[in-house]
Structure 1
Amino acid sequence: MFSKILVPVDLDAPEVAAKAMATARRIAATEGAGILVISVTPDPKDPEKEAALEARLKAYIDGERGELEMDGILNLGGSVAREVRAVAEEMGVDLVVMASHWPRLDDHLFGSRSASVALHSHCSVLVVR
């Protein structure tokens, strides 16, 4: 049913995505799917920061991979929800598995990133709390 799963991860707080990654790993193992990890940071392109973030993303993936097919994408200078949706469509993702958080006041006013991804994505979205 699923062949490619996208998991957004904040490299500054990877523990937030731990349940989402565990869920994606179980689904991928069952379905024989690959996992694509995306990290989006609002910082504009800076070669020094980019190299450090790429290394952190690689280390994160190496720690999570196990026997699964897993790759990563780092996007700098964009909106998290918009970049997740764009990469999901561009890469032919079947499922986005992402973490949720307890809503803040601005989430009630403007909506959360996970709500935006779920509402506007072309594929299935599983939000894990």
Structure 2
Amino acid sequence: MFSKIMVPVDLRHEEQLKKSLNVVGNLAKTYKSKVVFVGVSLAAPTEISRNPEEYTAKLALFTQEQSNQHGIHAESHPIFSVDPTADLNDKLLDSIDELGADLVVMATHIPDVSDYIFANHGNYISDHADVSVFLVRG
């Protein structure tokens, strides 16, 4: 049913991804899908990495850990942006097409009043993607 699952991840919030990562692992095993973990970062130094090479290595390590933990075939896809906050939605939508993903699984939060002021990336992707989007709260 699904051959390639794209999973946007923010390595700064790995703890909040556990539930969605379990969902991804189960879906990938059930459908024998390839999983692509996508991370969007600055090319400049951040709290996660000092440069694109270091970020690429950290995303690859995260991907390998998830692959081993869930027994799935996964790869990483780092994306670099001058302004990830402003570019995130467009970069993720472009990646869906670029990767040929037919499902996106995203961790999300319980909606609150701030969602009326700040963008909710999961809602945006689900509203604008041409593929199925599974938002996992928690």
TM over 0.5: yes
- Which residue number in structure 1 is paired with residue 120 of structure 2? 112
- Which residue number in structure 2 is paired with residue 24 of structure 1? 24
SS, match of residue 20 in structure 2:
helix
Deviation at 1:21, TM superposition (A): 1.4
Q: Which residue of 90, 96, 111 corresponds with 1:103?
A: 111
Superimposed CA distance per residue, residues 8-40 of structure 1 (whole angstroms, 9 cap, x where no aligned partner): 110111122221111011011000101000001
Deviation at 1:102, TM superposition (A): 3.1
SS, match of residue 114 in structure 1:
helix
What amino acid sits opposite 2:12 in the alignment? Answer: D
Superimposed CA distance per residue, residues 42-85 of structure 1 (whole angstroms, 9 cap, x where no aligned partner): x2x34951111111111101111023110011111142222111
Single out whichever of 18-27 and 30-39 deviates more from structure 2. 18-27
- Which residue number in structure 1 is paired with residue 80 of structure 2? 76
Output the aligned Cα RMSD: 1.7
SS, match of residue 12 in structure 1:
helix
Deviation at 1:110, TM superposition (A): 4.7
- Which residue number in structure 2 is paired with residue 50 of structure 1? 52
Deviation at 1:106, TM superposition (A): 4.1
- Which residue number in structure 2 is paired with residue 124 of structure 1? 132
Structure 2: runs of 5 or more not aligned: none
CA–CA separation in structure 1 for the residues paired with 2:131 and 2:76: 19
CA–CA separation in structure 2 for the residues paired with 1:70 and 1:39: 14
CA–CA separation in structure 1 for the residues paired with 2:13 and 2:134: 20
Structure 1: runs of 5 or more not aligned: none
